[in-house]
């Protein structure tokens, strides 16, 4: 959530920046917000003055009680009663205008960083790096045929137990899945991340803190008769560990990593792009989260991207790195890099990671601050990245390492699987 003082101070620049995100009627929204805040200030001033009058009158009542001025006391009490009623009315007006301001603020997305490419289409995204494609002499099968051939994932069984989008991993498929999780966690710990095992259920306040609520509430599974949601990513519980917290600058950067199952409705998704492991309702992911001081966040974003690239390179997977354009950014992000692995069986790229800098957008919602050396407090910058999401990584591994009668296991995973081929 943007800070209203920042909006007031930089309204022209913010309107221009948010126009690049294709936010409709952003000029009228911003001016309505500022007008409402002006109204709030006037009401707050009146509210404070009335409270001051009430307190002064109450003190005067006490003085007159000591001196026994009965007539004066009654007049003061009557006046105080009128002030109290007016305070109640003004307080109601104040809460109403504050709610209006809040309701406007939560509809405004984050401001794109100045280095984000402008555009509203996928073609406007900037391809920063792309691996060279490798050639093969055999026709390559898509992963949904391979997993059936080698009996390592059963989509029909998952459909029987739960429904579409909930696969069952079997034998070496399950072991390969577990190997990837452990590999990703171990690599993150080597890079100084603290491993966390968070809850997979969150409350509404946590969902609001990282921006899933109200923007993506319809994409989350809600527990019936409970104000709880299944997590769409471990970013949510990890970041909210620090909600309403003031961190000492000496304790930053905060670096956490977590494995978790993730749950997303993916409402409205259909067609070939959701086939097999391409898009699931439940999937596993290892997530990295950092909370840092503002001046370091873009250096940290670069470091996190380099780390994700190192994982893909260690797995020997063809990949590309993409800087998202302004219209393709997530609601809470100021800058995002997507990583995609190549699926030779499908002849297309599959997203496997997003690494984002949210600047102060999440920390303002979750109230995460950093106390600087001069004792002043600033909102922290929060960042997160998939490192990595497993389904499309698994699909790419299977398709890129297939031969006529087997699938080779990437060398870095063999110590975790205990086998080198399927």
pLDDT digits (tens, 9 = 90+) for 226-255: 999 999 999 999 999 999 999 999 999 999
CA distance 291 to 255: 7
**Cross-strand bridge partners of residue 288:** 257, 385
pLDDT at 78: 87
- End residue of a domain, out of 48, 77, 105: 105
Phi, psi of 278 (to 5 degrees): -60, -40
Identify whether residues 264 and 361 lie together within a single domain. Answer: yes
Identify whether residues 82 and 218 lie together within a single domain. Answer: no
Domain housing 67? 4-105
pLDDT at 139: 82
pTM, 2 dp = 0.93
Residue 407 included in any domain: yes
What's the average model confidence in pLDDT over 195-218? Answer: 95
Distances in whole angstroms, Cα of residue 288 to Cα of each of 51, 310, 373, 397: 48, 14, 27, 22
Average pLDDT, the chain: 95
- The burial of 225, by beta-carbon neighbours within 10 Å (0-12 exposed, 13-18 middle, 19 or more buried), is given as exposed
CA distance 165 to 62: 71
Identify whether residues 204 and 352 lie together within a single domain. Answer: yes
Residue 8 included in any domain: yes
Q: Are the beta carbons of 304 and 291 closer than 8 angstroms?
A: no
Residue 117 included in any domain: no
Identify whether residues 128 and 85 lie together within a single domain. Answer: no
Per the structure, how many domains does the chain have? 2
Query: Looking at residue 57, which CATH number applies to its domain?
Result: 1.10.287
pLDDT at 69: 77
pLDDT at 242: 98
Identify whether residues 390 and 319 lie together within a single domain. Answer: yes
Residue 355 included in any domain: yes
Q: Are the beta carbons of 368 and 380 closer than 8 angstroms?
A: yes
Residue 285 included in any domain: yes
pLDDT at 64: 83
Identify whether residues 87 and 158 lie together within a single domain. Answer: no
pLDDT at 65: 84
CA distance 232 to 283: 9
Residue 63 included in any domain: yes
Tell me if residue 156 falls in helix, strand or coil.
helix
pLDDT at 421: 98
Residues 399-409 as b/e (b if ≥16 CB within 10 A, e otherwise) read bbbbeeeebbb
In this predicted structure, the answer to whether residue 388 has a pLDDT above a threshold of 80 is yes
Length of the chain: 422
Residue 422 included in any domain: no
What's the average model confidence in pLDDT over 111-118? Answer: 96
Peptide bond into 159 cis (omega under 30): no
pLDDT at 63: 85
Task: Note the pLDDT tens digit of each residue in 292-338.
Answer: 999 999 999 999 999 999 999 999 999 999 999 999 999 999 999 99
What's the average model confidence in pLDDT over 358-379? Answer: 97
| Residues contacting 106, CB < 8 A, separation 6+ | 1, 214
Identify whether residues 196 and 285 lie together within a single domain. Answer: yes
Query: Looking at residue 191, which CATH number applies to its domain?
Result: 3.30.930.10
In this predicted structure, the answer to whether residue 128 has a pLDDT above a threshold of 70 is yes
- The burial of 48, by beta-carbon neighbours within 10 Å (0-12 exposed, 13-18 middle, 19 or more buried), is given as exposed
Residue 60 included in any domain: yes
- End residue of a domain, out of 105, 135, 164: 105
What's the average model confidence in pLDDT over 249-265? Answer: 97
CA distance 233 to 355: 13
Quickly state the pLDDT bin for 202 (edges 50, 70, 90).
very high
Identify whether residues 149 and 68 lie together within a single domain. Answer: no
pLDDT at 270: 54
pLDDT at 73: 83
Q: Are the beta carbons of 407 and 421 closer than 8 angstroms?
A: yes
What's the average model confidence in pLDDT over 175-196? Answer: 98
Task: Note the pLDDT tens digit of each residue in 28-81.
Answer: 999 999 999 999 999 999 999 999 998 998 888 888 888 777 778 888 888 889
pLDDT at 382: 98
Identify whether residues 98 and 152 lie together within a single domain. Answer: no
What's the average model confidence in pLDDT over 384-396? Answer: 98
Task: Note the pLDDT tens digit of each residue in 130-161.
Answer: 998 766 667 899 999 999 999 999 999 999 99
Identify whether residues 166 and 68 lie together within a single domain. Answer: no
Identify whether residues 85 and 160 lie together within a single domain. Answer: no
CA distance 302 to 134: 27
Identify whether residues 133 and 65 lie together within a single domain. Answer: no
């Amino acid at each position: 959530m943007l800070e209203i003082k920042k909006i007031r101070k930089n309204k022209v620049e913010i309107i221009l920046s948010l126009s690049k995100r294709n936010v409709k009627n952003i000029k009228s929204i911003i001016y309505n917000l500022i007008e409402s805040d002006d109204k709030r200030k006037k009401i707050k001033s009146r509210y404070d003055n009335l409270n001051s009058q009430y307190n002064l009158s109450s003190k005067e009542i006490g003085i007159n009680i000591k001196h026994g001025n009965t007539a004066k006391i009654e007049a003061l009490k009557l006046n105080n009663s009128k002030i109290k009623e007016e305070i109640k009315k003004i307080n109601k007006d104040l809460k109403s205008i504050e709610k209006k301001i809040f309701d406007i603020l939560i509809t405004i997305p984050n401001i794109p960083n100045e280095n984000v490419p402008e555009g509203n289409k996928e073609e406007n995204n900037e391809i920063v790096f792309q691996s060279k494609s490798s050639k093969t002499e055999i026709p390559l099968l898509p992963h949904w045929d391979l997993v059936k051939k080698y009996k390592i994932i059963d989509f029909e069984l998952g459909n029987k137990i739960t429904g579409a989008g909930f696969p069952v991993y079997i034998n070496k498929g399950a072991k390969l899945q577990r190997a990837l999780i452990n590999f990703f966690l171990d690599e993150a710990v080597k890079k100084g991340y603290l491993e966390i095992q968070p809850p997979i259920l969150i409350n509404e306040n946590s969902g609001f803190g990282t921006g899933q609520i109200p923007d993506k509430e319809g994409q989350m599974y809600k527990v019936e008769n409970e104000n709880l949601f299944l997590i769409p990513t471990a970013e949510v519980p990890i970041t909210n560990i620090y909600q309403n917290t003031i961190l000492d600058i000496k304790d930053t950067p905060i670096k956490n990593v977590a494995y978790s199952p993730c749950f997303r409705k993916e409402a409205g998704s259909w067609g070939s792009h959701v086939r097999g492991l391409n898009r699931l309702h439940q999937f596993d992911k290892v997530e990295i989260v950092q909370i840092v001081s503002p001046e370091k966040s873009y250096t940290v974003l670069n470091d996190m991207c380099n780390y994700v690239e190192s994982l893909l390179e260690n797995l020997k997977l063809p990949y590309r790195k993409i800087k998202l354009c302004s219209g393709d950014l997530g609601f809470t992000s100021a800058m995002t890099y997507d990583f995609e692995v190549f699926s030779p069986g499908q002849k297309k790229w599959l997203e496997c990671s997003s690494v984002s800098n949210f600047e102060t957008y999440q920390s303002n919602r979750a109230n995460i601050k950093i106390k600087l050396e001069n004792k002043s407090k600033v909102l922290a910058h929060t960042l997160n990245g998939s490192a990595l999401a497993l389904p499309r990584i698994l699909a790419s591994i299977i398709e890129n390492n297939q031969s006529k009668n087997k699938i080779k296991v990437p060398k870095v995973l063999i110590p975790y699987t205990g086998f080198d081929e399927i």
